[in-house]
Structure 1
Amino acid sequence: MPATLHADAKSLLTGWQPATPAGRRARAATLRLLDDGPVALTRAHRPGHLTASTLVVDATGSRVLLCLHGRYGVWVQLGGHCEPDDATLAGAALREATEESGITGLRLDPRPIDLDIHPVTCHGRSTHHDVRFVAVAPPDAVERVSPESTALGWFAPDALPRPLADATEQLVAPALAAVRRTRARRAP
C-alpha cells in the first residue's frame, strides 16, 4: 500500500472528532493500528486492516442504497478493501461505492460519519476497521448489481431490510444529518 494512503488515513482520523464515546474508542484503536505502517491497510495485516465504506443516499435525501452481500447474506452499505491505486481513504470509499452500485456521479462527503471495528473471515480471521462515509446519488441514478452482491435496493430509513448487518442501521441517522448539513451550507 502506498505511504500516501497511509498518511492520508492517519491525518483524516487524527482530525476527525467522533460524536460518541464508542466512536472515540474506535478512532483511538484504529490510530494505534495505523502505527504499524502502510501494511495496516492490507489484508496481509493479521491484527486487522482499514476498510472504507459508504452509505449512499438518494438525491431527495429520503432513501438509502444497500446491497445484499453475496458472501454473508445480509444487507450492508457499500464498501471494502483499500487498493494500491487509492490515494485517499475517501477516494477508496468512493471507488468502492461506484464499483458496487454501478452509479456514476456519486458526491462523497470526505468527512467520515462513523468508524466500526468488527471481526471478519476474509483470508482467515482478522478485523476490519471500517471508516464510513456518506455519498449522494445524482437524481437520475440507476444502480447495477456487482459481482460482490446478490441485490441492491433503495430503502426508507424506517423500512430497512432484514437481515441487516449489525452496524449498518447506526449509519442512517448520521448519513442523513450529514446530507442535510451539506445542503444547508450550499443554500443561498
Structure 2
Amino acid sequence: MAIQLEKISGVVGGYLMQYPDESQALAPLVEAVGRGFDFTSRRRYPAHITAGAALLDSSGRLLQIHHRALGQWLPPGGHSEPDDKSLVATALRELEEETGIGVGDVEQLGGEEMPVRIGVYPIPADELRGEPAHRHFDFLFGFRAAGPVEVRIGHEAFAYRWRALNEVDERELGRRLMVLR
C-alpha cells in the first residue's frame, strides 16, 4: 500500500509549523496536497515524491553519493515504492539500496516524521526512461550511524564521500543537522 496522502499532508503541515519561512518555496507541494493529487508513484507527473537520508557518522560528517543520473553530490535517496508505508521507510530503503547501510545501523534524529528539509526540485527530462521534465517533492530525514558503518555504493552512484557539516550550506541543512546531532 502506497503512502497515504493524509500522512504526507501531516508531515508537510508539521514541517511548515517549524519552518514557516519556507511556505513560499513549498507552495507547489502544498497546492498538490490540497488538490489531493496522488504523487506517490514515480510515474505521476508533473511531480512526485522522493525521500532521502541525511546520515551523519560518529564524527558528525554527512554522507553524500555522487548520483549518476543527476551528476551531483547528494544524500542517498530516491523514489517512493508501493510497499513503502511512510516517507521515513522510503528514506531508509533507499539508504540501504544505495549504500548498503541498513536500518539496524542507524538511529533517527528528530521526530519520526519530521524531515530536516523538504525541497521542490526541477528534474530534467530523461528520454531513455521516457520521463518528461518534472519536479521532485523531496523529504530528507536525519539519521546518525549507530556505530562504524561500511559504505557499499550501489549502481546509482559513482562514489561516496563524508563531508563536514560546516561545508554543507544547502538550505541550512548543515545548521539543522548540527542542532540535531
Deviations 1:75-94 (A, max 9, x none): 11111110000101111112
Partner of 2:44: 45
2-side partners of 1:70 and 1:101: how far apart?
14
| Structure 2 spans left out of the alignment, 5+ residues | none
Partner of 1:75: 73
Partner of 2:139: 131
**Alignment-mate amino acid for residue 88 of structure 2:** A
CA contact (8 A) 2:166 2:174 kept: no
2-side partners of 1:25 and 1:91: how far apart?
27
Identify which of 172, 175, 181 aligns with 2:174: 172
2-side partners of 1:54 and 1:135: how far apart?
7
CA contact (8 A) 1:56 1:64 kept: yes
1:28 Cα deviation after fit: 4.2
2-side partners of 1:116 and 1:100: how far apart?
20
Deviations 1:134-187 (A, max 9, x none): 111122211110111011111222456xxxxxx8474222122122xxxxxxxx
1:49 Cα deviation after fit: 1.2
Identify which of 141, 148, 152 aligns with 1:140: 148
1-side partners of 2:29 and 2:9: how far apart?
9
Normalised by the length of structure 1, the TM-score is 0.80
Greater mean alpha carbon deviation, residues 123-132 or residues 39-48? 39-48
| Structure 1 spans left out of the alignment, 5+ residues | 161-166, 180-188
2-side partners of 1:46 and 1:169: how far apart?
25
1-side partners of 2:175 and 2:117: how far apart?
11
2-side partners of 1:9 and 1:46: how far apart?
17
Q: Secondary structure at the match of 1:103?
A: coil
How many residue pairs are counted as aligned between the two chains? Answer: 170
**Alignment-mate amino acid for residue 13 of structure 1:** V
The percent of aligned pairs where both chains have the same amino acid is: 26
RMSD: 2.2
CA contact (8 A) 2:165 2:178 kept: no
Q: Secondary structure at the match of 1:44?
A: coil
1-side partners of 2:178 and 2:145: how far apart?
13
Partner of 1:157: 165
Identify which of 116, 120, 140 aligns with 1:113: 116
2-side partners of 1:33 and 1:10: how far apart?
10
Deviations 1:29-54 (A, max 9, x none): 31321234463112222121111112
- For the pair 1:84 / 2:82, whether they are aligned, the reply is yes
